[in-house]
A and B are shown apart, each in its own frame.
Chain A
């Protein structure tokens, strides 16, 4: 069983200890394989480790004041004098797992502690004597488009498919206001039927009787309708080459050309030199608008309101299982709607992010890869929504959602559990004003490498916070319905609603110019946006600094976002100040760790 963190720290404090780092690295060379490298010679009882890791076993992680995703990274330096490992350059390493373990070469591998769990990015060579293996955290596997499905990926049921094939199918997460659904069926051909149609260019209609069922040849019948066939019968015989038919089906009949027609088991070939043509009379259904593509069922929880030129209109059919609605009447202008993908209680930011990373992309995460428990209860319940209409990266969408509640998305290289480390998890770190937390880790001078304390960044004071929320996904500055009540004001005109929170005392003290940088969110509710603005004001109305120092191995296992108390004789820290861990740079070979604390 892996050593505990306390045992590892005690071991690192032993003067005679010998460090060994083992690396299990996935790669592809004809098949998926595992490469085993180490800093010193090691044999785990089954596999031998190649001792070519020269150094560079340090990883940087950092939060971001603008709530952008934190990606940790590092480089392993591999000994390659004379080129015995040049063939590494021929292998495929991209997005393969890498696990690094720390321990004593005299220990069995099971005693080693996991210090990094991530992905390989590339292997390059900067000189003749070495190779560099770049490693990143597992957020890299979310670095791909959330959807690439376009109209052409829809079934042939949709008439717009052939004219706008490359148009991306939008995806809705949570609830949004006034989105523009895409029209996927322009015709008035969706109906419950029955429909009548013409089958022309038969060689002969002799023997065909009215009322006979056209159902013997599934290949042929399959071209007469879309959906589930109830029955298809001969309605009348027009002449020696043409019959009329009636199709009863849940779907709609389909025009086209067929080679043969079978009626009651009798084959009716086409007229010489012709193909049998099938036409049909359109029903009285409506145009179909798609709100969302997706993979959940049903795609929509609720269509809140459909509008034509901002005026509410009735729809013919919600078609929620397909993420669509059908509009029967002619429309006068831009059709928009407000809609929600999940029940209201499930539209929280953590839930939306979790849903996206578990269901989208090639490398889907599972519940065991996710830990969103570290944020405040309030922020965990805030509601949001985002509507993806363009090719967008999964990480980008999730980052935008996380930013909305003042959190930073972060894939921890390892997670501390039951006193030791396990594989990393996707986390949310909430950036709040540091407060004193009883029992928090103390970073003091006795743990610090002498002379390394510095103020590495001073953050700008913000006396005012202006948050955008409740995005209007279709701005309509003009051409609204004439009959719209003027009380609607600019509700359809503005892209965002804003809340603003200020501290006039701070504004005066800092000679604030009054210019406020808007921070845009995907929050939906005014009260929640106000609370979030107040939280950010509370954080940034005070001068904040990033104080960095290098500490002893006892602090190797601190985590980003962890509350700490920093104490030093310098920079007004003698009484101790609460802070949160903002950046970490661990050097596993020396055991020293550079920690940046936001105070």
Chain B
């Protein structure tokens, strides 16, 4: 909001106001282990190197259907689709049991492959969620005979 006073004008010029707003893991390591999609957060160092102001990471899974590749835009704020979405809060690894999703109308797995999108955001110790989202995806298909 527009301020007159010089202090508010000064701090309004600081970006980011919170370092947590742009913080995220370096990468996502996504794999299938049994019926679980396991997402490991790759940090520059060890878990101990995560800044103290980061309280946790929220990882969302979205069963998109028979598509390919990582979704082009940030879908974090898309409406919650309880039939195709799961969410886990973690500091290092998120595990999504596909059996927690119904098998219809979209199959959990298919011959052409079901694409699962992953999105991850950081949450700081104030409960502020980062503006930056790390996106990834994994496609799971049956092994043909």
Give the B-binding residues of A (Cβ under 8 A): 175-178, 302-305, 308-309, 311-313, 329-330, 332, 338, 340, 344, 347, 383, 385, 469-470, 472, 481-485, 487-488, 491, 497, 524-526
B10 cross-chain contacts in A, Cβ below 8 A: 491
Name 9 extra pairs, CB < 8 A, besides A308-B126, A470-B6, A484-B19. A302-B2, A313-B126, A385-B4, A385-B5, A470-B5, A483-B125, A485-B19, A524-B5, A525-B5
CA distance A13 to B6 in the complex (A): 57
CA distance A49 to B53 in the complex (A): 81
Given A482-B53, A525-B4, A311 and B14 touching (CB < 8 A)?
no
**How many Å from the CB of A333 to the closest CB on chain B?**
9
Does B29 make an interface contact (CB < 8 A)? no
In the complex, per-residue mask of B2-20: 1 if CB is within 8 Å of any chain A CB, else 0: 1111111011001111111
Contact indicator B18/A177 (Cβ below 8 Å)? no
The residues in B between 82 and 114 inclusive whose CB is less than 8 angstroms from any CB of A are none
The residue in chain A whose Cβ has the minimal distance to the Cβ of B1 is: A304
CA distance A470 to B54 in the complex (A): 32
The residue in chain A whose Cβ has the minimal distance to the Cβ of B13 is: A487
CA distance A338 to B7 in the complex (A): 10
**How many Å from the CB of A84 to the closest CB on chain B?**
62
3 shortest interchain CB distances as A-B pairs = A482-B53, A483-B53, A524-B5
Given A332-B126, A481-B125, A483-B126, A175 and B17 touching (CB < 8 A)?
no
Contact indicator A483/B128 (Cβ below 8 Å)? yes
Contact indicator A526/B125 (Cβ below 8 Å)? no
Partner among B4, B51, B125 whose Cβ is within 8 Å of the Cβ of A175: B4
CA distance A177 to B10 in the complex (A): 12
Listed by A's residue number, 11 A-B pairs whose Cβ atoms lie within 8 Å are A177-B5, A177-B7, A340-B4, A481-B18, A483-B19, A483-B51, A483-B126, A484-B19, A485-B17, A485-B18, A524-B5
Given A482-B53, A483-B18, A472 and B7 touching (CB < 8 A)?
yes
The residue in chain A whose Cβ has the minimal distance to the Cβ of B124 is: A483
A302 cross-chain contacts in B, Cβ below 8 A: 1-2
CA distance A313 to B128 in the complex (A): 8
Chain B, interface size category, equals: 20 to 34
CA distance A290 to B10 in the complex (A): 25
Give the A-binding residues of B (Cβ under 8 A): 1-8, 10-11, 14-21, 51-54, 124-128
A472 cross-chain contacts in B, Cβ below 8 A: 7
A330 cross-chain contacts in B, Cβ below 8 A: 127
CA distance A385 to B5 in the complex (A): 9
CA distance A305 to B18 in the complex (A): 14
**How many Å from the CB of A242 to the closest CB on chain B?**
36
B127 cross-chain contacts in A, Cβ below 8 A: 329-330, 332
The residue in chain A whose Cβ has the minimal distance to the Cβ of B23 is: A483
Contact indicator B125/A482 (Cβ below 8 Å)? yes
Given A483-B126, A485-B18, A488-B14, A524 and B6 touching (CB < 8 A)?
yes
CA distance A582 to B127 in the complex (A): 59
Partner among A311, A313, A488, A525 whose Cβ is within 8 Å of the Cβ of B6: A525
A469 cross-chain contacts in B, Cβ below 8 A: 6
Contact indicator B18/A484 (Cβ below 8 Å)? yes
Contact indicator A311/B4 (Cβ below 8 Å)? no
CA distance A472 to B10 in the complex (A): 13
B3 cross-chain contacts in A, Cβ below 8 A: 175, 304-305, 338, 340
CA distance A305 to B7 in the complex (A): 12
Most buried by A among B17, B51, B54, B127: B17
A178 cross-chain contacts in B, Cβ below 8 A: 7
Contact indicator B128/A344 (Cβ below 8 Å)? no
CA distance A304 to B5 in the complex (A): 10
A175 cross-chain contacts in B, Cβ below 8 A: 3-5
Contact indicator A304/B126 (Cβ below 8 Å)? no
A487 cross-chain contacts in B, Cβ below 8 A: 14
CA distance A344 to B2 in the complex (A): 9
Given A308-B126, A482-B52, A483-B125, A470 and B14 touching (CB < 8 A)?
no
CA distance A2 to B142 in the complex (A): 108
Contact indicator A305/B1 (Cβ below 8 Å)? yes
Contact indicator B2/A484 (Cβ below 8 Å)? no
CA distance A178 to B5 in the complex (A): 11
A470 cross-chain contacts in B, Cβ below 8 A: 5-7
The residue in chain B whose Cβ has the minimal distance to the Cβ of A302 is: B1
B126 cross-chain contacts in A, Cβ below 8 A: 308-309, 311, 313, 332, 481, 483
Partner among B17, B19, B124, B125 whose Cβ is within 8 Å of the Cβ of A312: B17
Contact indicator A497/B7 (Cβ below 8 Å)? yes
**How many Å from the CB of B9 to the closest CB on chain A?**
9
Partner among B7, B8, B14, B20 whose Cβ is within 8 Å of the Cβ of A483: B20
Partner among B1, B53, B54 whose Cβ is within 8 Å of the Cβ of A481: B53
B18 cross-chain contacts in A, Cβ below 8 A: 311-312, 481, 483-485
CA distance A9 to B38 in the complex (A): 100
Contact indicator B19/A491 (Cβ below 8 Å)? no
Given A482-B125, A483-B128, A338 and B5 touching (CB < 8 A)?
yes
A304 cross-chain contacts in B, Cβ below 8 A: 1-3, 8
The residue in chain A whose Cβ has the minimal distance to the Cβ of B127 is: A329
**How many Å from the CB of A351 to the closest CB on chain B?**
13
**How many Å from the CB of A102 to the closest CB on chain B?**
47
CA distance A485 to B14 in the complex (A): 8
**How many Å from the CB of B65 to the closest CB on chain A?**
34
A482 cross-chain contacts in B, Cβ below 8 A: 51-53, 124-125
CA distance A462 to B142 in the complex (A): 87
Contact indicator A491/B53 (Cβ below 8 Å)? no
The residue in chain B whose Cβ has the minimal distance to the Cβ of A303 is: B1
CA distance A1 to B8 in the complex (A): 56
